[in-house]
Each structure stands twice: as structure tokens, then as C-alpha cells.
Amino acid sequence: MNETGGVELGGLHLSTALLTSFGIVLLLVLLSLLLQVALRRPDNIWRTLAETLYGMVENTVREVLPRHYPQVAPLIGTLWVFLVVANLIGLVPGLHSPTADLSITSALALIVFISVHWFGIRYCGLRAYLRHYLSPSPILLPFHLISEITRTLALAIRLFGNIMSLEMAALLVLLVAGFLVPVPLLVLHIIEALIQAYIFGVLALLYIATALESQNSQQPSAEPESPTRNPQP
């Protein structure tokens, strides 16, 4: 165990936020395995709850990506589930939200960055996807590249800043007022954690949708066929 938090493993420092993230992933995997067993039983409350939640995620993704929602919905749903748990785990005494650590939010933003280009290349083709960076003019290529970098950084910093400020505000209120006003504070924490998880997932969805737009922009529009006239005798 390290004095600054975390553990040393073979000369590699594993921070507390990283260990908490691993614990959340392990917890979600175990819950998913248990949920698979519950889904096999008909008329089960867990089955109904799981189908309802997945239906909400699928409908949200379908509104943005009507053609590719079956492929994108699992990624967005996974991000939402992880972020909700990660943002709320700070309410557990002795634990801190891993999303209050910039390294964790940067890793999540990097996953979104890679996913955007992966979906774009897979469904648009490499040449067509790279060509949209030169549209409408090759002069805009540097601006497109800067936009890719800045929005990824903004995605990481936004989540980090909001969750960190939320935990600091909760700590300051508890230090000043003690445990006299815990309920409103907990409600505020829960609402803000859910909102930040939703915003992160929606932004990731919009970035993927923007990448897939190049598929439609590269396809030529179908012109209506001119009616053929019968030859006059």
C-alpha cells in the first residue's frame, strides 16, 4: 500500500481511482452474470427491469442513428451503466468516485475517441471516412484535426471537473454543517451524477453519429428516372 493512496505492483503504481474502477468493472460483470440467470425465468421482475432499461437505451440511440443503433447501443449503454455506478459510488463511506480523477475520465474519453473512428472506418470505409476531413476544402484539415483533439479533452475535463467539484462541495458542507443536512446533499449528488453520466453518453453518441454522417455524404443521391416515351409509329 502506498502512502499517497493506491498500491505498488512490480514498480507500477495503481492509484485508488484505478483500483476503484477495476472493482466497479468486476462488480458489473458479476451482476451481469447473475442477471443472465434471472433472465431465463419468465415473468421475473429483474427481466422486466432489464428489458425496460435496454429499451430506453436502444430508443435513445435509434433516434440519433436509425441505421446503426444495434451496433452502437451496447457501447453507449455500457458507458451509461459504468458512469452511473462510478459517479454514485462516492456516496459510499470510505470510497471516492473514480470519475473525480482526471486519468480515469481521460481513459473514458480515449475510449470514445477510438470508438468514433472505429465505427466511422468500419461502416464508411477508410478512404471515404478520411475524405470527409477534407470536406468542403482541404484547407480545413488542420481545423478538423484540432476539433477532434479539443472535443476529446473537453469530454474528459468536463466530467472530471463536475464530479470533483461535486465531491468537494459535499465535503465542505459536511465539514461546516456536520450531518444536519445530509438528505438534500445526497439528493443533489445523485441528480448531478445521473446528469453527468447522461451527458457523457449523449456526447459520445453524437460524436459517433457525426463520424457516420460521412457515409451518407459520400453516397450519390439517386436521381429520378426520366419517363420513357413510347415511339410514335
Residue 201 near residue 73, CB atoms below 8 Å: no
What is the C-alpha to C-alpha distance for residues 212 and 216, in angstroms, rounded to an integer? Answer: 8
227 domain-assigned:
no
102 CB-contact burial (10 Å; exposed 0-12 / middle 13-18 / buried 19+): middle
What is the C-alpha to C-alpha distance for residues 2 and 98, in angstroms, rounded to an integer? Answer: 17
Which tens digit of pLDDT belongs to each residue from 53-63? 889 999 999 99
228 domain-assigned:
no
Q: Rounded to 5 degrees, what are φ and ψ at 9?
A: -130, 100
Encoded amino acid at 103, one letter: S
Confidence of residue 3 (pLDDT cuts 50, 70, 90): very low
Predicted pLDDT at 113: 95
Predicted TM-score of the model (pTM):
0.83
226 domain-assigned:
no
Q: Rounded to 5 degrees, what are φ and ψ at 15?
A: -70, 165
232 domain-assigned:
no
Which tens digit of pLDDT belongs to each residue from 29-85? 999 888 888 777 777 788 788 888 889 999 999 999 998 999 999 999 999 999 999
59 domain-assigned:
yes
116 domain-assigned:
yes
Q: Rounded to 5 degrees, what are φ and ψ at 14?
A: -105, 115
Predicted pLDDT at 214: 61
Structural domain for 178, as ranges: 7-217
Distance of CA 16 to the CA centre of its chain: 22
Structural domain tally of the chain? 1
Residue 150 near residue 158, CB atoms below 8 Å: no
Task: Give the residue from 149, 162, 68, 163 showing the smallest Cα distance to 110.
Answer: 149
231 domain-assigned:
no
In total, the chain counts a number of residues equal to 233
108 domain-assigned:
yes
Average pLDDT over residues 79-98: 90
